């Protein structure tokens, strides 16, 4: 569907990566024979999204899901295609159909394709493209793997006589692979591209489990001849002592192919250090201190404790089932293979939000963070899709992720005002849930650029500003709802605990507004949710004026620190997770910490 007169496009990184068999999700067998004592599913419902053909769109009203894993009651659906839709509720219909658009790639989108940027070309010319379709059709191939979260409803015998319908209450989360193991690397295996590992033994609390051999080939270099991860020497990594979560699946040869990794010492709840007090915490987060702490190959976990709280009390606050707001930022690639954007005096990286949930991880039988990034991400050469991405897909993916090649800082912010639930007319709601909902809408808009096809990063409108807009709008809407509805206000204050939480939430909202909009008045595009999305809008002068009103969001690290300061001063505890090019050793790269 590309224009006939255009030039042959530059090969994207995404296309380069698909040359390797292990990067093609659709080629992995659905039937897996993994030992459940050593390998666990990453979710209850998982599958591969498939974009419906034009003649099937009205029937599907979402996307096809090739079921790769399902709960015991629905094992009959394994290997079948079901219709994936969202539940027909007023809230979901308003938000997600409201983000649906007719997609016609404009001149800028086609120029991006020619430069090797991956956009949803298969969506071009389609009317009312909904968020499930834009997720399924974001790549040229049906290779997007997802995990379903939240409430899931199944209709095995729909009235129209078509395929079963699986309805979700949240947008699917992108994943790299459906299964994972917890193991330590021992050394290269006898066969090419294999490594010997030893599994974790939960009963003994050590790596005394059975030995195994995994398939873990080196990844394909990008267009700058840089590899996002190397396995070379990984058994000597500082992270190897506590082990790795290995995400993958059996390939056509029956080998467990490792597509992603996560250092256990980063995601388990076991801080290596504690910083007490708001002032000390802010000093810890400053670029100077971050650079001093940056040791290539290492991973650290630090608990930041507010004034007046004992570290033991801060640790005890984090319990199974708790959720935290994630503030993510990554740095640059330096060394002999310094990336082009990092060759300037100032480098500020990328910022995003997300949600981390405290879970009991069964292989280690310990509390761990299940991290989902909500990435407001412009179209790019890697084919990274704006949306909800699991840690294994965004940070840990060996081919497409960043943990092996960039320094990463994830701040997990736990504060009752955000994550605590209010019971309103029998339903539980939280401010954090509202934030996630607004991020879902912004992600859907980004995937199709509100119908234009491609979003771009610029100084005046960028991913950081659009993420901040979603946070601001969520906080604003909570305030507007309280102000407009006396009955809602009464419901949110009908217990002393809820009254206290509401007061704290209102104070927190005022502080967030002060940080994001230091000049007081809201940007017009934020106030009315105008469709700027990294481009477009009110012209150059208007864009400059709007950008200056939220100047901190033009510098992602500054915004991240300012928000962290607000949260910790309001009593939040924060886990700071940091990695510095973890995995094997690539002597040609060095981590660059954002320096603003």
On average, the pLDDT of the chain sits at: 90
- State the pLDDT at residue 582: 97
Rounded-to-integer distance, Cα 177 and Cα 147, Å = 10
495 has pLDDT over 50: yes
Average pLDDT over residues 400-416: 97
Lowest-pLDDT choice from 20-24, 524-528, 591-595? 524-528
Q: Which two tokens stand for residue 434?
A: 């509202």
Helix (H, G, I), strand (E, B) or coil at 264: helix
pLDDT tens-digit profile of 110-126?
999 999 999 999 999 99
Phi–psi pair at 13, nearest 5 degrees: -60, -40
Q: Cβ distance 145 to 25 under 8 Å?
A: yes
Lowest-pLDDT choice from 18-22, 202-206, 207-211, 524-528? 524-528
Lowest-pLDDT choice from 230-244, 276-290, 371-385, 480-494? 480-494
pLDDT tens-digit profile of 576-587?
999 999 999 999
Higher pLDDT, 452 or 553: 452
Spatial neighbors of 303 by CB under 8 A, at least 6 apart, are 271, 273, 274, 275, 311, 314, 315, 573, 574, 575, 576
pLDDT tens-digit profile of 138-174?
999 999 999 999 999 999 999 999 999 999 999 999 9
Q: So where are the chain's domains? A: 13-171, 179-263, 416-570
Q: How confident is the model at residue 484 (pLDDT cuts 50, 70, 90)?
A: low
Spatial neighbors of 492 by CB under 8 A, at least 6 apart, are 422, 424, 482, 498, 499, 502
0.85 surpassed by pTM: yes
Q: Which two tokens stand for residue 487?
A: 């009955």
Q: How confident is the model at residue 544 (pLDDT cuts 50, 70, 90)?
A: very low
Q: How confident is the model at residue 32 (pLDDT cuts 50, 70, 90)?
A: very high
Does the domain spanning 179-263 belong to CATH 1.10.3470?
Answer: no
Proportion of the chain above pLDDT 70, given as a percent: 90
Q: How confident is the model at residue 553 (pLDDT cuts 50, 70, 90)?
A: low
Average pLDDT over residues 269-297: 94
Number of H helices, E strands in the chain: 19, 25
273 has pLDDT over 70: yes
Task: Using CA atoms of 462, 456, 375, 329 in order, give the dihedral in degrees to the nearest 10.
Answer: -50
What are the C-alpha distances in Å from 454 to residues 17, 313, 402, 544, 547? Answer: 21, 47, 22, 21, 21
- State the pLDDT at residue 427: 75
Higher pLDDT, 64 or 594: 64
Q: Cβ distance 493 to 499 under 8 Å?
A: yes
What are the C-alpha distances in Å from 372 to residues 147, 350, 387, 445? Answer: 11, 16, 10, 19
Rounded-to-integer distance, Cα 218 and Cα 404, Å = 12
């Amino acid at each position: 569907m590309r224009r006939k007169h255009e030039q042959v496009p530059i090969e994207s990184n995404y296309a380069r990566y698909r040359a390797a068999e292990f990067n093609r999700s659709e080629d992995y067998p659905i039937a897996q024979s993994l030992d459940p004592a050593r390998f666990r599913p990453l979710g209850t419902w998982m599958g591969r999204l498939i974009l419906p053909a034009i003649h099937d769109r009205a029937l599907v009203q979402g996307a096809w899901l090739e079921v790769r894993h399902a709960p015991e009651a629905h094992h009959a659906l394994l290997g079948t295609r079901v219709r994936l839709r969202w539940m027909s509720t007023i809230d979901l219909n308003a938000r997600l159909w409201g983000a649906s658009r007719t997609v016609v790639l404009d001149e800028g989108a086609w120029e991006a394709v020619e430069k090797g940027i991956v956009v949803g070309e298969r969506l071009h010319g389609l009317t009312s493209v909904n968020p499930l379709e834009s997720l399924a059709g974001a790549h040229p191939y049906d290779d997007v793997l997802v995990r379903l979260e939240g409430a899931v409803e199944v209709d095995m015998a729909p009235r129209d006589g078509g395929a079963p319908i699986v309805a979700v209450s949240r947008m699917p989360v992108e994943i790299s692979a459906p299964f994972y193991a917890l193991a330590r690397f021992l050394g290269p295996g006898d066969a090419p591209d294999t490594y010997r590992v030893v599994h974790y033994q939960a009963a003994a609390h050590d790596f005394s489990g059975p030995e195994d051999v995994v398939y873990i080939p080196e990844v394909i270099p990008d267009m700058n001849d840089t590899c996002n991860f190397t396995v070379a020497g990984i058994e000597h990594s500082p992270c190897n002592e506590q082990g790795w979560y290995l995400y993958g699946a059996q390939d056509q040869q029956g080998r467990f192919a490792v597509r992603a990794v996560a250092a256990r010492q980063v995601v388990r709840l076991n801080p290596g250090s504690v910083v007490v007090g708001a002032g000390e915490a802010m000093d810890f987060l400053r670029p100077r201190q971050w650079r001093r702490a940056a040791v290539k190959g290492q991973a650290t976990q630090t608990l930041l404790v507010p004034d007046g709280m004992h570290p033991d009390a801060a640790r005890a606050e984090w319990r199974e089932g708790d959720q935290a707001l994630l503030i993510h930022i990554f740095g640059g690639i330096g060394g002999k293979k310094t990336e082009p954007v990092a060759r300037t005096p100032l480098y500020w990286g990328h910022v995003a939000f997300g949600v981390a949930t405290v879970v009991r991880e069964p292989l280690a039988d310990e509390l761990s963070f299940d991290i989902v990034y909500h990435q407001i991400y412009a179209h790019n050469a890697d084919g990274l899709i704006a949306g909800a991405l699991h840690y294994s897909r965004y940070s840990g993916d060996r081919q497409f992720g960043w943990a092996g090649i960039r320094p990463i800082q994830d701040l997990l912010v736990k504060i009752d005002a955000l994550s605590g639930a209010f019971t309103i007319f029998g339903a539980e709601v939280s401010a954090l849930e509202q934030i996630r909902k607004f991020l879902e809408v912004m992600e859907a808009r980004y995937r199709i650029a509100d119908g234009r096809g491609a979003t771009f990063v610029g100084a005046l409108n960028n991913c950081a500003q659009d993420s901040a807009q979603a946070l601001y709008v969520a906080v604003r809407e909570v305030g507007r709802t309280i102000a407009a509805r006396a009955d809602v206000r009464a419901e949110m204050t009908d217990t002393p605990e809820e009254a206290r939480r509401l007061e704290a939430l209102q104070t927190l909202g005022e502080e967030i507004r002060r940080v994001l909009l230091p000049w007081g008045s809201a940007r017009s595009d934020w106030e009315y949710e105008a469709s700027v999305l990294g481009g477009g809008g009110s012209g150059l002068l208007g864009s400059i004026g709007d950008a200056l009103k939220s100047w901190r969001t033009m510098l992602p690290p500054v915004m991240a620190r300012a928000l962290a300061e607000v949260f910790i001063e309001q009593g939040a505890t924060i886990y700071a997770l940091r990695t510095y090019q973890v995995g094997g050793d690539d002597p040609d790269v060095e981590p660059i910490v954002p320096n603003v």
